[in-house]
Amino acid sequence: MNVFKKTWQVSENLPGLRLRFIPTIGLLVAVGLLGFWLISRYFSADEDTTWQRIQQTGVWRVGMDPSFPPFELLNGAGEPIGYDVDLALALAERWGVQVQIVAIGFDGLTDALLAGKVDSIASALPYDPRLTADLSYSASYFEAGVRLAVAADAPIQSANDLAGKRLAVEWGSNGDAEARKLQRADPSIQRLTFPGAPEALAALLAGEADAILVDGVTLRQMQGSGSAIRAVGDALESNPYVIALPIGAHVLQGQINSALAEFTTTGFLKNLEERWFSGGAQ
């Protein structure tokens, strides 16, 4: 009788034991799964599938709209050439891979990158902070923003020297907007408006203006055509050209940024500008 009672008491406690162990086992399983997820997430986050694909195939697919000289255009044989093409080739040579230029209209470049049709975009692409949740960007390789330029022998060294000076701009341009800001801060600045950048440049070279405000591309084109002008100070409104990458391509991003830093130090980027903005590279 005592044995039966003792056995029954143990049996009676078994459901309670099971109820206590089931949550404990479930908790352990949950913790284990969470740990596995965190570990796998850590290692997968460390991977760059875009860089891995480039290394495995030996091909870097670069999206480009070949309709914006001198950065990208087609030569007489229908082949892409230009500043961005040479830059892409130099990067690929550094990595020991080939470049595949994928011609895409400018408006479709971002969609092509997001769809995985290209590995990068190198097409005089301005940095867009609104897209940083979807894309990664390289460091800047060309400043296309509004620049202050003066005659080569002018004493003006920065925008702080414009008091009482005549500032030529293309009416309605970004340079015009920056000139209005400067004029509001210092009403003594005389803002001269012209139908286009060539007319503003002509006024500067003729001594009818003391400085001009133009975008970086137009400035380099003016200098490349032989105009004796120089940029002073930093861009008043920055518009950096960058290379766009998939959001997880951190290894590729690092490789590009490292190369761009070296290309700046060695003067390679400056040589590219001189070549493609001189008009003699085509």
Looking at residue 261, what is its pLDDT?
Answer: 98
Phi, psi for 147 (deg, rounded to 5): -120, 145
> How big is the CA angle at 57 (ends 40 and 82), to the nearest 5 degrees?
115
Give the contacts of 9 (CB within 8 A, at least 6 positions apart).
none
Strands 166-170 and 211-215: parallel
Mean pLDDT, consecutive 10-residue stretches, the chain (282 aa), reads 32 34 36 40 66 98 97 96 98 98 97 98 97 96 98 95 98 97 97 98 97 97 95 96 97 98 98 88 56
- Residue positions counted in the chain: 282
CATH class of the domain whose range is 49-142+240-277: alpha beta
Domain residue ranges in the chain: 1-43, 49-142+240-277, 146-237
The residue type of 210 is D
CATH class of the domain whose range is 146-237: alpha beta
Looking at residue 228, what is its pLDDT?
Answer: 95
Q: How far apart are CA 228 and CA 223, in angstroms?
A: 7
- Whether pTM exceeds 0.85: no
The residue written with tokens 């286009």 in the block is 196
Is 146-237 the same fold as 49-142+240-277? Answer: yes
Q: How far apart are CA 228 and CA 245, in angstroms?
A: 38
Looking at residue 21, what is its pLDDT?
Answer: 33
The residue written with tokens 């293309």 in the block is 170
Evaluate the CA torsion angle 220, 221, 226, 229 in order and state its sign.
negative
Looking at residue 116, what is its pLDDT?
Answer: 97
Looking at residue 28, what is its pLDDT?
Answer: 37
Looking at residue 14, what is its pLDDT?
Answer: 33
Tens-digit pLDDT profile for residues 183-237: 999 999 999 999 999 999 999 999 999 999 999 999 999 999 999 999 999 999 9
Q: How far apart are CA 89 and CA 20, in angstroms?
A: 66
Looking at residue 30, what is its pLDDT?
Answer: 37
